[in-house]
Amino acid sequence: MTDKRKAARRIEIPGEVAEAAGMPDDLDASAVDPHAVPDPAHRRRAGNVYFVAAGLVALAIALGLPAGMWVTVGLLAAIGIYHYIAGWHLVVRESWALEVSNRAIGFPVGHASANLGFYGWRARPIWNVLVFSADDPPNRRGLVRVDGISGSVVEQYDEAVPAGEM
């Protein structure tokens, strides 16, 4: 693909238009900054908030609120517990997931993209890595799912790119 065709497929907004529209800097596609996915273990902070709220409601019950408010205490505590058990510590970072995917797939990888998702009721972190072969244009593509805690390959799929799709 020629540079002219590549440029024609990109969306470019002139700087003065973006500035006049008040576009935030984090939407600037030309800016290349390192990006870090937040650790899902931060959910435990929300759990602490729910526990404090449950304690405050329990204190208010002791000071005269109706006894039926114990249901609220139970719900707040249950939500807090859920936040604690769903607050996995993300061990495998994006670069590690890309490495694991590169080794697991059966062809040399050119372009790849990783996206963090969550699986199951406890929201276990799973990296979904989309890979393309190193050919130009790519003739194979695949999806590798990498566990965000152990770094093991959960599942993988690859296929030939249909003619004319790339």
pLDDT for 30: 60
User: Looking at residue 162, what is its pLDDT?
Assistant: 82
- Specify burial of residue 8 (Cβ count, 10 A radius: 0-12, 13-18, 19+): exposed
| pLDDT the model gives residue 165 | 65
pTM (predicted TM-score): 0.71
CB atoms within 10 A of CB 125: 22
Task: Specify the pLDDT at position 137.
Answer: 83
| pLDDT for position 5 | 47
Q: Which residues of the chain have pLDDT under 70?
A: 1-13, 25-35, 164-166
- Select the CATH number that applies to the domain covering 91-166 from these four: 3.40.50.300, 3.10.450.50, 3.10.20.30, 3.10.450.40: 3.10.450.40
pLDDT at 8: 46
pLDDT, position 27: 64
List the structure tokens of 79. 């939500």
Question: What single string gives the DSSP state of each residue in 134-149?
Answer: SSSS-SEEEEEEEETT
CA angle 141, 95, 122 (to 5 degrees): 90
Q: CA 121 to CA 166: how far, in whole Å?
A: 37
* Cis amide linkage into residue 138, ω under 30° from 0: no
Would you list the domain boundaries of the chain? 40-85, 91-166
pLDDT of residue 32: 59
